[in-house]
Structure 1
Amino acid sequence: MTKQPAQATTIQNTETQVPKTPQMNDRDYLNDLLLTEKYLGISYVHALQEASHHTLYQDIKTVFDASCDHQRDLFNLMFNKGWYKLESQDPQKIQQTHQQFSQYAQQQFPQ
């Protein structure tokens, strides 16, 4: 008898309904803000990597940290409204993947 893989379970709150019209609704605005924060985060990382002055680096890092916090807040708001969903994974599969990458890292970076 073979063991069937566990089905992923969707984790999602009850979806807050928004009007289905051509105009942007709350979900559209929040999604746009979240995507903008993600884009800004990538841009800040590039700026941090290339900052040649320590004070400039610290200023950019402060703004980057605030942007990450905003991104997380937007994600949490969208998740709470049911506009973002997650899928749970089988703990055994997570452990196998962890072992696989740990072994790879040990081979690539021996101590």
Structure 2
Amino acid sequence: MRTISGQKIQNPQTNVPNTQQMNDKDFITDLLSTEKYMSASYGTAMNEAGHTKLFQEINSICNETDQCARDLFNTMFQKGWYALEGAPQQTIQQTFQEYSGMKSQLPSGNMPH
């Protein structure tokens, strides 16, 4: 997919009824928000898990939660309910270089895990 600066990247929107009752878009938006919250909470739990087996179990559940969130995002994007903003190639390259530089400042791989 080719991006153009300042242009939204979006599929045609699937129409939903505009009523006070929740529609498919409302339900999926709510589910995605919940999955994002749960993923962040599992991340905190993993950081605080004092037992290896507990960490592994929470990590497994977190991975499933992340996949659910990704699937919900993809559904929303396919239905045109989620848009992305295009960026010029120069901005993408500059950001990549900036974060690559930050990565080189991180401690090396010989740190204990």
TM over 0.5: yes
Shift of 1:9: 1.8
Structure 1: gaps spanning 5 or more residues: 1-5
Distance in 2 (CA, whole Å) between partners of 1:74 and 1:38 is 11
* Bigger Rg, structure 1 or 2: 1
Whether 1:87 and 2:88 are equivalent positions in the alignment is: no
Shift of 1:21: 0.4
Distance in 2 (CA, whole Å) between partners of 1:95 and 1:27 is 34
CA RMSD for the aligned pairs?
A: 1.9
What corresponds to 1:78 in structure 2? 76
Classify 1:8/1:63 alpha carbon distance in 2 versus 1 (closer, same or farther; 3 Å). Answer: same
Shift of 1:25: 0.5
Shift of 1:110: 9.0
**Structure-1-length-normalised TM-score:** 0.85
What corresponds to 1:100 in structure 2? 98
Whether 1:51 and 2:49 are equivalent positions in the alignment is: yes
What corresponds to 1:67 in structure 2? 65
Corresponding pairs, count: 105
Aligned partner of residue 22 in structure 2, secondary structure: coil
Which portions of structure 1, spanning 4 or more consecutive aligned residues, are displaced by more than 3 angstroms? 100-106, 108-111
Shift of 1:109: 5.3
Letter paired with 1:10: K
Residue 10 of structure 1 is aligned with which of 8, 11, 28? 8
Shift of 1:8: 1.8
Distance in 2 (CA, whole Å) between partners of 1:52 and 1:110 is 23
Distance in 2 (CA, whole Å) between partners of 1:46 and 1:14 is 37
**Same amino acid, percent of matched pairs:** 48
Shift of 1:95: 1.3
Structure 2: gaps spanning 5 or more residues: 109-113
